[in-house]
A and B are shown apart, each in its own frame.
Chain A
């Protein structure tokens, strides 16, 4: 957000949490802490926390590099090293960062991994990504294979398959790296904190059902999911963050305030949108402003659900640790099939009383982008709400054509406006007294 807009308490806290984490990472080697690299969707952060292992999430580093305008250079470095233009730009950004000394988003050096935990959910590229890192770092790798929800549901077999892998494959590998046994009581405690944070996050998300919505559920939403997506789920500090955030949002509701935007609170909520697809990170605020300055607030988004569908009832559970972690990994948005994604979007459009929906189709991510035009048509048919569609990328600045995208966003919003307010049919005559704006020769 802009420097001239006062930051909320929760925002300040989150910034501090992130800084502390990278600080901890930079000292990891000298303090003898072990480091595990892992991915966002379906991650097993509670297990890492219970074993005092420090997580590093390459996707988060890549998106942070994108926001800090460093990704362009990193991507060039990776392409110079032989990675094709068509490779996912998260991967190339990460590889480029590594080639440039592995300085993380806050400028501190990232420690090398002691283990790569490949919790693969919905993205095949993850496998190739860690294959590359395995070669670069010469470290062990452990894989959690998560079956795709091809039939749109999690069966008992799938759940057991994943839970058994966690118990029999992942935990022993983590224990070996940590040099100690897993304390189940500590794991349960982590899971309890997770569930608590998840309760509050759902309240934050669902606050957007109010008019005006006190939050932007996409551009603002990606800030809100930061801690729970990344290294902090399962910690007391994350639970505190979400409690504070929830209270802040409740205060905004009490004051009747609209969503926070890069330019301060939204003065007038003109359009309510649901968004599908990840954001563009290299021009994040520019992209956000294309919506916020026209009075458009995003009330719900699927991208904020790639780290868990908590609003659909899922919770981490201390009672069934491995099974609930298995359900988590299986249930992330990226692991859903197309019909389930369409159903979820339809539900959001209806439940959040949206005026329309918008798709940002990113070049990098096939698992997101495949089928999005189909989804668009199907959603228009089911909801009668107009859909907008643009193409950009995650962190490759070359694929964000500002003028083109702005043109399209404005066209979409004007289309929405025209559909919400019927234009008058010409031929009715004009009001009598009108100022003459110019007289032609």
Chain B
């Protein structure tokens, strides 16, 4: 299959989209943006390519004479594959952690305590993984770091409580190891993981599934063009000809997803964009937040941290408000202080949170107004659109300011709109006979040197 790739390197997450040569989405991948942009791009792309492989599998299944009988198994196979990938990463983490234990001087004294404690947590995480991945319950996050970190935090707390190992060194060990693991690309081979995943499928349908997998695995996935965009655009590890402005990409992606789109609001980690597009999805006007990133996704992240909550818990909590309190929106730090003050005055957390959500959307409305207002249809994209309270406030404000006749489009996958737009530009480039070269990072990602070893670096400083 010939395909094109678009990557959107955001301040919080990095997204990749794969399109086939007819412009159909065949794969998508996401990862948290790390300290190393190249790795983030490589990981997102790997994920998208893997998901493309599953699209191929699904096509092969549908075409196969026995296809219908393994439909449900195919879904299970995908889950099993994710599980295998997780276990692979967990092994990488485990190896790194044990290596760290051997290498680091300060930990050697604690080694006899830390090693069994770490192994216990790793083992338990490994044991619990199948239930987490193969079951139907939603996972807290799809990112390896989040899952591993949650497991380790809980495990370390427990170890400290029962007195088997001290909390700080154990978590410190994890922190050092995860930093190395997530700035490396896991060298897992897709076909090996697939083979392993098949083994987890009930024996009855395994043979039929195997045949389908073998058939589809033969088809190569050939990338013929590539475009990158995003917050890190200035430092993207791509050639200049392969880079497009994220404004253009978000506009085009949103228009592709919802063809009637004329106005787009994108709230990302650190910028809010109001974008107007024409009937072809070409941007005609845009405005962004200037000089200050209050009211963007990170604002919510900061508030969640202040309250000791997960980002995903904010929306549902705010939805339980009885009234919407008025909160300062001009500065994230002030808003955090105001939040604490109001809580200490006895105001309900839900009501204050509702006010915070409203203030974000008020800022967004001002940026949209500056970009030319809202024209039907209106599409909301970016990480914040997963937050129910945010979308509720937005709907309210749109109705107040532009009437209730405006169609508002929100897609849970809208976080991918920038990457989708980028991939569409990559397709344009192919059609114009000037596809951008495959960036070096894909070839080199496996060889990227691990980050500086903090412990030895610190030792160097003390020695000299």
Contacts and interface: CB of A to CB of B under 8 A. Distances in A.
Same complex for A and B? Answer yes
A414 B243 CA distance: 10
B285 interface: yes
A426 B245 CA distance: 20
Interface residues of A, number: 38
A415 B221 contact: no
B69 interface: no
B2 A415 contact: no
A437 B435 contact: yes
Contacts of A391: 290-291
Interface string B134-146: 0000000000000
A436 B223 CA distance: 6
B245 A439 contact: no
A389 interface: yes
Nearest to B48: A440
Interface residues of B, number: 54
A406 B190 CA distance: 40
Interface stretch (B276-284, B399-407, B410-418): B276-284
A82 interface: no
A106 interface: no
Nearest to A361: B290
A422 interface: yes
Nearest to A441: B190
Nearest to A434: B224
Given A404-B290, A411-B247, A430 B430 contact: yes
A414 B430 CA distance: 18
A441 B49 contact: yes
Interface in B269-313: 278, 280-288, 290-291
Interface string A386-398: 1101010000000
A437 to B, nearest CB: 4
Nearest to B45: A440
Contacts of A386: 284-285
Given A407-B233, A418-B283, A431-B431, A437 B291 contact: no
A391 B223 CA distance: 40
B225 A431 contact: no
Interface in A138-166: none
B331 to A, nearest CB: 15
A435 interface: yes
A426 B223 contact: no
A187 B437 CA distance: 66
B21 interface: yes
A19 B370 CA distance: 44
Interface string A404-438: 10111011001100110011111111110011111
A407 B271 CA distance: 12
Given A407-B233, A423-B428, A439 B282 contact: no
A373 interface: yes
A437 B372 contact: no
Contacts of A426: 19, 22-23, 256, 424, 427
Contact of B431 (A377, A387, A430, A440): A430
A391 to B, nearest CB: 5
Interface of A: 373, 377, 380, 386-387, 389, 391, 399, 401, 403-404, 406-408, 410-411, 414-415, 418-419, 422-431, 434-441
Given A391-B291, A423-B428, A441-B189, 4 more contacts: A423-B424, A426-B19, A436-B222, A437-B435
